[in-house]
Amino acid sequence: MRYFLILSYQGTAYKGWQIQRNAPSVQATIENGLSAILRSEIHITGAGRTDTGVHASYYVAHFDSDCIADEADFIYHLNSILPKDIAATEIKKVRDDAHARFDAIEREYTYRIVNRKDPFLREFSWQYYAMLDMQAMNEAAAHLLAFDDFTTFAKLNSANKTNICHVTHAQWERTDNGMTFVIRADRFLRNMVRAITGTLVEVGRGKMTPNEFRNIIAAKDLSLSGSSAPAQGLFLSNVKYPEEIFL
């Protein structure tokens, strides 16, 4: 039986989602917990990579097992083994060929900026004190929906098979203590959201116009993007799948 495991995690202590040699990862930590509970070696496949220090408020991974009798009891015992910065919230039965990465039809990232020093939010936001023009940032962000080649925001030497992504939503919203950027697409390149966010902040500071932002997307030149926003402000916040893969 194949399951989708719904997770959330704080990425501060990990070198990203994916297993790495001699470095802690979210994937390895969860696999160790699953293997201990199910008393067999369990491998999981995630919806995608998150980089070092990036968080997830909603993450999906799949694994196979024929040893789960009570799903609620399973989640309870898994959470008792997982560290405090990783939580399992639900498991869902899916088709045997369902794939957490390749069957995803939309992913959502949220980036949080806080406009004052707050020791309780320092690991979950970019504390940025300069005034930002949100109207200009949203005007620039709207241009993302007009393009599908995001080479400008691709990470150097990331060996992507393609830099094509279809962005369906990109908008900044005001919050009580700053602002939040929400972006949705069918897929994202490594470091793409942080590069876009950092460049949009340049627009907000008046260092770049919305039309200049459009031009650097069109240029397909990663040397033109601004500095990447810090990892701690970024969350994978949703992953959507076609209903027919669920049992």
Tell me: the pLDDT tens digits for 20-35?
888 999 999 999 999 9
pLDDT of residue 159: 62
> Measuring CA to CA, how many Å separate 105 from each of 161, 218, 238?
18, 25, 11
At 132-172, the pLDDT tens digits run 999 999 999 999 999 999 999 987 666 677 899 999 999 99
pLDDT, greater one: 242 or 67? 242
According to CATH, where is 3.30.70.580 located in the chain?
A: 2-102
Q: Is 238 helix (H, G, I), strand (E, B) or coil?
A: strand
According to CATH, where is 3.30.70.660 located in the chain?
A: 106-238
Contact by Cβ (8 Å): 47, 60: yes
Assigned fold of 106-238? Alpha-Beta Plaits (3.30.70)
So what CATH class is 2-102?
alpha beta
- The two tokens of residue 9 are 């995690």
CA distance 165 to 100: 18
Residue 43 has pLDDT above 70, yes or no: yes
% of the chain surpassing 90 pLDDT: 92
Which among 82, 51, 94 is positioned nearest to 236, based on CA atoms? 51
Q: Is 149 a catalytic residue?
A: no
% of the chain surpassing 70 pLDDT: 98
Which among 57, 157, 51 is positioned nearest to 107, based on CA atoms? 57
Residue 124 has pLDDT above 80, yes or no: yes
